[in-house]
Structure 1
Amino acid sequence: MNRQIKQIFLVILDVLFINASIFIGYFVRFSWKIPSPYLTIYYRSFIPISIIMIICFSAFKLYKSVWRYASIDELISVILAVSLGTFLSFIFGQIAKPFIGNRLPISIYLIMWALTILMSGGIRFLRRIMASVEMVPSEVLKKSRRTLIVGAGDAGAIVVKEMKKHPELGFIPVAFVDDDEGKKGQIIHGVPIVGSRDDIEDIVTSKDIDEILIALPSASLEERQKIFKICSNTGCHLKTLPGIYELIDGKVSVNQIRDVEIEDLLGREPVELNIDEIAGYLENKVVLVTGGGGSIGSELCRQIVRFSPKKLLILDIYENGAYDLQMELNRKYPHIDKEVIIASIREKNRLEDIFSKYKIDVVFHAAAHKHVPLMEANPKEAIKNNVIGTLNLVECADKYNVKKFVQISTDKAVNPTNIMGATKRICEMIIQAIDKISNTEFVAVRFGNVLGSSGSVIPLFKKQIREGGPVTVTHPEINRYFMTIPEAAQLVIQAGAMAKGGEIFILDMGKPVKIVDLARDLIRLSGLEPDKDIKIVFTGLRPGEKLYEELLMDEEGIQNTKHKKIFIGKPGSYDFMELKENIIGLYNKLSCSDEEVFDSVEQLVPTYHRKKN
């Protein structure tokens, strides 16, 4: 039935309901014996009354609403339309008395008002009721998950309503839990509130729950993490609504339900940025990001475009990641001028051409070889890329009057025990040395591991879990600092805004996390039990690997900044020409054996003590 026919059908039904309600009013008023004068009044006035009522219904758009989705708003519209129509019908009766003999009794108008709301509203809400009890295909029911909702507030109520409206989504809401004792025993959209967070494990067992949805977008991150931990012990698949700070418009929708990730268990409160300070050095500037297709580099690009640079240059030696990022940014930020440059930072002539052509204002240097075991086996490549590449970049930045240069460093540069950390420490030394003789502001930003970055343990663990295990951890006591990729990128950009030149900014990484605990959490988030469904195997420390990473060297000390998550290490004192001469000497050693290369690095970096496994 098309839309117009449905509207005509509803109009006919409304006319019948209006007139039936008048007759029922007559029967009630006159005990089934209607005096003939009142019938005459009805015959003379039913057409005008019907027209008045239909016009009022149309004015309140009762013929345009989609009634399978009717809610309290549509009910209010029905009541207002009938009320206005009844009032205008009464006014018509008063005015038309000389022509129709009299108006209807007031009691008839009141009965007509009540019965028309009941009948015209009822027929409309019948469609809503039918939609809510429509048969769900058996194959959908088989795939549906019995779901426990944590949080019986507005967000929980909204998602349960949507789950019931759209059974094809595969959720069967079974029960709520909420820490408000006053809510226990109440029912929301037919779903009972059966307990608090302390009861979750018992409820999962007693009600055969498959999935838990944490619907607490307004809760603090710390509070959400506590609940995640409780729920992760149940073996259920966990889903969540984003925190309120993640919601673009602050509104909750069933479409925003997502899996609980390890970032939810380890993440921290969102970063507070000084937008004006950042915009001051990025807005309308030409910005170069080296390693722009990598984990940190690509996130830096995503953050930078928000501040309307004049041009964003994405430099990488690997085309695939850079191309994917370019397509993403073209789609989301078509108005921003951006360009991908395929180049190696090892080739200084190519860098000279780039800096000369684009008149770059700001550089974020994220290009580096970073995998510790691989670089232990290939130390010459680590030196060529990390050290020589950085030296090439800083000299070009100095020569072509770049305003600000931000070097991405790592906690592995502190008292390094591996060649990757040692090369990153040399990069920090280069930054601090050249800053003393250059008009460019050179700074380094040091932080630990980022969750989910290429080559980190998270993607490896997920892959091992998908394959049925075992999950491999090098040592039961090994721990690492972690932060999310967006948090790291935002703090790097903020540190760049605060830089005056020569600083090593150290990001607050929070508390270190045991890698074995991380593995267990990931296994539980996959709905499996550690050491039962998925084994954890300890393989021994890899070449150059530490049990505990550090963020600060003893001689650096630490200074607070105006940002609570950013600190400054005491600047080192290095002569650039002397350091460059030593680096050239190191480069000349690359034709020698790996052992001689390791020895030369130890001479250049006093804090480097090679760990042999």
Structure 2
Amino acid sequence: MSFILSFSFLFFFRIFVKFFFENFINSSDLKVLPKAVVYGTDANAIAVANAIKIESPPRFRVVAFLDKSKSNKSKSILGLPIIYNSKKASVLLRSYKANTLIIAEKSLTKEEKLSLIDDCLEYNIKVFTIPIITNWENEKEISKQIKSFQIEDLLQRKPIVLDNKLVSSQLTGKTVLITGAAGSIGSEIVWQVLEFLPKRVIMIDQAETPLHHLSLEISKANKKVKVLALISDIRNKKSLEEIFKKYQPQIVFHAAAYKHVPLMEENPTQAIFTNVLGTKNVADLAVLYQAKKFVMVSTDKAVNPSNVMGASKRIAEKYVQSLHYHGKNEQIQ
């Protein structure tokens, strides 16, 4: 009899302790955790949610599941509601005061996933992904695989690894000219090129203020490479030629372009003047002054273009390729 009483006491005591810990002590900790929504309702998603629940120390508090199937609307999993993805995910997450999305749905296409991620990042919602789960029993291992979204996750191939030795051999000690240097792409090219210690970097842009700001940032961080900030418009061939003639650049990165689709629909002539004729000016001068390499930065919208901006970049691509194919400069790319 005493054995039964002792066993019953220990049994119910353990249940009480577990209940108290999960519902009182643990709940106070969960309140300060980021609220997360799991995208998906399949076995993969459920395993992820379970893994998050037992994770120690906890990183998230799952508040709901998000599903693209209308048939699961108003249902629940693990006591949590299933939200039908009828609107933008960011709107639905904000309605649950969630700032984290964990993508566990494996049937999403690359386009669907990209659209989902773009929407979330626009509203500062953190995105996490997880590979397909094979070891269902080891929930600790599942939680370890939840990682912050990387752009490489959208690739259907392995990321390209740059040959830094080859890049260094082409940039170190050279004079490098970069058009559109104050733009988002051009400025990143400037910073990357500086890492390889060229002899001189010539930054060209028509936007005075951003070029000046970039120049100030570089002067604080760079003490080894001579950097020149020159105001010039790539549509003005005479101005460009003065720069090419004076500095004789060996490497040219052409990043100057109009890139905003709606604006170019309203201003098609400007798109042609800058993206086509401007590119022609820079490429022709690179050939004339025998630059060892010319690299044009293009856009995905130049593939089967359906707008003015994409069409103007496609024409520019064709012209640059023609210089290469006709043997005017084998280094034109």
- Please confirm whether the aligned pair reaches a TM-score higher than 0.5, indicating the same fold: yes
Structure 2 equivalent of residue 306 of structure 1: 195
Match of 2:328 among 432, 438, 447: 438
For residue 80 of structure 2, what is the amino acid of its counterpart? D
Structure 2: stretches of 5+ with no match in the other structure: 1-30, 38-45, 66-76, 82-95, 103-111, 129-147
Residues 270 and 305 from structure 1, CA distance in 2 versus in 1: closer, same or farther, beyond 3 angstroms?
A: farther
Is 1:294 the equivalent of 2:156?
no
Query: How far apart, in 1, do the equivalents of 2:314 and 2:292 lie?
Result: 23
Q: CA deviation at 1:210?
A: 5.7
Paired letter, 1:431: V
Contact 1:287 1:312 in 2 (8 A): yes
Give me the CA root mean square deviation: 4.7
Give the direction of change, closer, same or farther, for the CA distance of 1:180–1:397 in structure 2 (3 Å limit). Answer: same
What is the aligned partner in structure 2 of residue 277 from structure 1? 166
Range that drifts further, 329-338 or 294-303: 329-338
Contact 1:213 1:239 in 2 (8 A): yes
Conserved in 1, the CA contact under 8 Å of 2:253 and 2:297?
Answer: yes
Q: Helix, strand or coil: the match of 2:181?
A: coil
* TM-score, structure 2 normalization: 0.57
Q: Following TM superposition, where does structure 1 have runs of at least 4 consecutive aligned residues deviating by more than 4 angstroms? A: 177-181, 183-189, 191-195, 197-201, 209-215, 236-241, 263-271
CA contact (8 A) 1:178 1:193 kept: no
Deviation for aligned residue 1:410: 2.7
C-alpha change, 1:373 and 1:211, in structure 2 (3 Å) is closer
Tell me which residue corresponds to 1:368: 257
Q: Does 1:387 align with 2:258?
A: no
Aligned length: 243
**CA deviations over 1:67-100 (Å, ceiling 9, x no partner):** xxxxxxxxxxxxxxxxxxxxxxxxxxxxxxxxxx
Counterpart in the other structure of 1:328: 217
Tell me the distance in 2 between the aligned counterparts of 1:430 and 1:424. 10
- Alpha-carbon offset, residue 374 of structure 1: 2.9
Q: Aligned to 2:80, which of 187, 192, 202? A: 202
Letter of the 2:328 partner, please give it.
S
Match of 1:427 among 301, 311, 316: 316
Cα separation, 1, equivalents of 2:253 and 2:173: 16
- AA aligned to 2:300 is D
Deviation at 1:302, TM superposition (A): 2.1
Give CA deviations for 1:262-293 in whole Å, capped at 9, x if unaligned: x7697557542111121121122111111111
| Whole-angstrom distance in 2 between the partners of 1:146 and 1:307 | 43
Task: Judge conservation of contact 1:401–1:440 (CA < 8 Å) in 2.
Answer: no
Q: Which of 234, 238, 246 is matched with 1:345 structurally?
A: 234
Structure 1 pair 282/406, CA: closer, same or farther in 2 (3 Å)? same
Deviation, 1:411, is 3.4
Q: Is the 8 A contact 1:308 1:336 kept in 2?
A: yes
**Which whole-Å deviations, capped at 9, do the CAs of 1:178-212 have from their partners, x for residues lacking one?**
9597x8997857x69999x9879839xxxxx9666
What letter matches 2:332 in structure 1? F
Contact preservation (8 Å) 2:272, 2:312: yes
Partners of 1:382 and 1:320 in 2: CA distance: 22
Q: Within 5 Å, which residues of 2 pair with 1:531-610?
A: none
Q: State the structure with more CA Rg.
A: 1
C-alpha distance 193-378 of structure 1, shift in aligned 2 (>3 A): closer
| TM-score, structure 1 as length reference | 0.33
SS in 2 for 1:409: coil
Report the AA paired with residue 218 of structure 2: L
- The one of 291, 296, 306 equivalent to 1:402 is 291
Report the secondary structure of 2:195's partner residue: helix
